[in-house]
């Protein structure tokens, strides 16, 4: 299979711009997801019955429906109701809506991993609630939660491939256009795969390394060495 390298070279700027948009959308999606996840976790912590129920419903809804439908609903559905949003805004909202529940779950699993006995241990040396959170709970929750959070980030970045469906000028649409216009199918597809590889592979490797580094919480308190 011979690839038209000249074409690939010529198409680089298009792919670069599209990749940039993908990364930007992914970045904001991840940021807002973390924020939403944090809000969820705080709402659950304060044990206000109503808040907790709302958060529960939100998490179940966003985790059990596909991003595509969420995007269509936002972009096409809301427009008909009079609320018109740009495609990029919709993309970020959609990603954040989906990602928020995943992050909330990651935070929750991190916090739950800190055992009751650890908390009692901290209490027994007179730590206040705030000190308990800061010195005992958060560090351990963080190390347990980081792999999940990292995985969620990669997941969200991959999900950005879907936003093309609502007319965002992303990698998928660039590829589709190039195939449609120039029939350089293999070249376009090659670029598509290559760009995603370049974007995500380093993150994946970094995440694996990070997981290994923060593994101490698993082995810290278990019996003799």
Partner 1 sequence: MQSLGIRVLFNVKNIRRLLEGLMVTARIAFISILIGSLLGVVLGVIWTAKRKWIRSICRIYLEMFRIIPIFVWLFVMYFGGTTALNVDLSGETVSIIVFTLWGTAEMGDIVRGALKSLPQHQVESGKAIGLGFWELYRYILIPQAVRRMLPGAINLATRMIKTTSLVVLIGVIDVIKVGQQIIEYSRIEIPTASFWVYGFVFILYFAVCYPLSKLSRMLENKWNR
Partner 2 sequence: MEQIGVLIVNRKTNEVLLEVEGLHKKYDGITVLEDINLSINKGEVVVILGPSGCGKSTLLRCLNGLEKIQGGDIRFHGKSIVSKDVNWQEIRQRIGMVFQNYELFPHMTVIENIILGPVKVQKRNKSEVLEQARQLLDRVGLLDRQNSYPRQLSGGQKQRIAIVRALCMNPEIMLFDEVTASLDPEMVREVLDVILGLAKQGITMLIVTHEMSFARAVADRIVFIDEAKICEITDSHEFFTKPKTERAQHFLNIFQY
List 7, 121, 161, 210, residue binding partner 1 (CB under 8 A): 161
Q: From the list 2, 49, 80, 212, which residue makes contact with partner 1 (rule: CB under 8 A)?
A: 80
- If one asks whether residue 56 binds partner 1 (CB under 8 A), the answer comes out as no
Backbone φ and ψ for 99, nearest 5 degrees, come out as -70, -30
The pair of structure tokens assigned to 153 is: 């980030």
In the list 189, 206, 213, 221, the residue contacting partner 1 (rule: CB under 8 A) is: 189
Among 20, 45, 76, 206, binds partner 1 (CB under 8 A): 76
Rounded CA-CA distance 160/67 in Å is 9
Binding mask 101-130 for partner 2 (x = CB under 8 A): ----------------xx-xxxxxxxxx--
DSSP 70-138: HHHIIIIIHHHTT----HHHHHHHHHHHHHHHHHHHHHHHHHHTS-HHHHHHHHHTT--HHHIIIIIIH
Task: Please give the Cα distance from 41 to 52 (Å, whole number).
Answer: 9
Residue 162 near which of partner 1, partner 2, none (CB within 5-8 Å, type-dependent): partner 1
Instruction: State which residue, 82 or 223, has the beta carbon closest to partner 2.
Output: 223
Closer by beta carbon to partner 1, 35 or else 78: 78
The entry of partner 1, partner 2, none near residue 216 (CB within 5 to 8 angstroms by kind) is partner 2
CA distance 64 to 44: 20
């Amino acid at each position: 299979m011979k690839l038209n390298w000249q074409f690939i070279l010529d198409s680089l700027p298009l792919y670069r711009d599209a990749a940039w948009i993908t990364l930007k959308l992914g970045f904001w999606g991840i940021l807002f997801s973390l924020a939403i996840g944090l809000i969820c976790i705080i709402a659950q912590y304060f044990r206000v019955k109503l808040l907790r129920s709302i958060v529960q419903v939100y998490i179940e809804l966003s985790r059990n429906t596909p991003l595509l439908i969420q995007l269509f609903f936002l972009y096409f559905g809301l427009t008909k109701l009079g609320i018109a949003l740009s495609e990029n805004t919709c993309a970020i909202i959609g990603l954040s809506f989906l990602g928020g529940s995943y992050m909330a779950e990651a935070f929750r699993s991190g916090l739950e991993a800190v055992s009751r006995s650890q908390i009692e241990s901290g209490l027994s040396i007179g730590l206040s609630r705030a000190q308990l959170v800061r010195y005992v709970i958060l560090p351990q929750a963080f190390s347990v939660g980081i792999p999940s959070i990292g995985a969620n980030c990669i997941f969200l970045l991959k999900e950005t491939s879907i936003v093309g469906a609502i007319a965002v000028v992303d990698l998928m649409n660039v590829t589709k256009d190039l195939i449609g216009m120039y029939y350089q199918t293999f070249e376009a597809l090659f670029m598509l795969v290559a760009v995603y590889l370049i974007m995500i592979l380093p993150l994946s490797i970094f995440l694996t390394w990070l997981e290994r580094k923060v593994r101490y919480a698993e082995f810290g308190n278990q019996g003799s060495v």
